Structure 1
Amino acid sequence: MNTETQPPSPRERFYRRERRSVPAARAFARETLTAWGVRGRVDDVLLCVSELATNALLHGVPPGRGFLLRLVPCGDGVRVEVHDSGGGVPAVPQADVREPGEGGRGPLLVSELADKWGVGERDPGKVVWFEVGGV
């Protein structure tokens, strides 16, 4: 990350519960990373953003609500948070994900691509986050 003068400020944007929010969140993340001078691991970050935004829409955003995407510079990397108002806690599936069917792969992808990830409490809801270094 290019931080020659001062570290960049966190950036965030709210998205409504609609299908077009996932590509919009990915585009916002790309714009933010570009503005910050990030060149490394951009594809990893964008894939993780897509997965968490999709999970928020499918499982964490009640009708009439939305989710907040927040990107925060941290050290030589970036922390990405998805805030939603739904219940439940995402987990990496324990079953064989090579079996046919949909669902459960988002947390697995994030756990493989990110350096760290987790879930924090929020009232109401939760914050699902990940960190990627070496950007």
Structure 2
Amino acid sequence: MSGTPHLVALSVPREPPPSSTYRFRSITLVADYPDTPAAARHTARHVLGEWGLGGLTDDVELCVSELVGNAIHHATPDGRRVQLAGERRVVVAFRYWPRSLFVEVSDEDSTPPTLPAGDLLDPSAGSDDPLLAEGGRGLFIVQSLADATWWAPADQGGKSVFCRFDLGPGRGTLAEAPELGLLTETD
């Protein structure tokens, strides 16, 4: 494996009908390459910049990073492996409507994502910071940054984890961008 992310497929941007304000973009990445999380973050930054949603970039990029990281580290394909160059794959999709941005990260494992169970804290144990666990904070971070987080099994096996970012007060105001036929966020 080289240090270069291997792009498997990138959706071709489709111009929505003039009356539509819907946008979609997705990327399929090979899960086992070391630069897959970086490629997913770069895609998030590029798509949000292109769609005029730069004010959401940091939050969305962090959520994408956490969800893709979870897919890479925890997802093993269901009993049958979906063949795509013989590698596991992760799909990251972005959907934009005038009032919300949806992010979806799909993998080939139908096991539901779970929040880790907390351990009882014993501050006398001598730890420098007994309140911080070693891992398992990713889904908490996603739930904290997104307005909604959920998952769904895929019909063909695997699952998708979704997060929604609402646009409007508190995340900037919405202004029209007539040249794109879209509403975009302004700071």
- Looking at CA atoms only, which structure, 1 or 2, has the larger radius of gyration? 2
- 2:102 is aligned to 79
TM-score, scaled relative to structure 1 = 0.86
Output the CA distance in 2 between the equivalents of 1:119 and 1:84. Answer: 11
- 1:118 is aligned to 150
The two structures, once aligned, show a CA RMSD in angstroms of 2.2
Q: Which moved more, 1:37-46 or 1:115-124?
A: 37-46
The 5 A counterparts of 1:91-106 are 91-95=114-118, 98-102=131-135, 104-106=136-138
RCO (CA 8 Å, sep 6+): is it higher in 1 or 2?
Answer: 1
- 1:109 is aligned to 141
Output the CA distance in 2 between the equivalents of 1:131 and 1:74. Answer: 11
1:130 aligns with 2:163: yes
Aligned residues: 131
Gaps of 5+ in 1: none
Output the CA distance in 1 between the equivalents of 2:165 and 2:72. Answer: 23
- 1:50 is aligned to 65
Identical-residue share of aligned pairs (%): 32
Gaps of 5+ in 2: 1-18, 78-85, 120-129, 168-184
- 1:11 is aligned to 25
Contact 1:8 1:36 in 2 (8 A): no
TM-score, scaled relative to structure 2 = 0.63
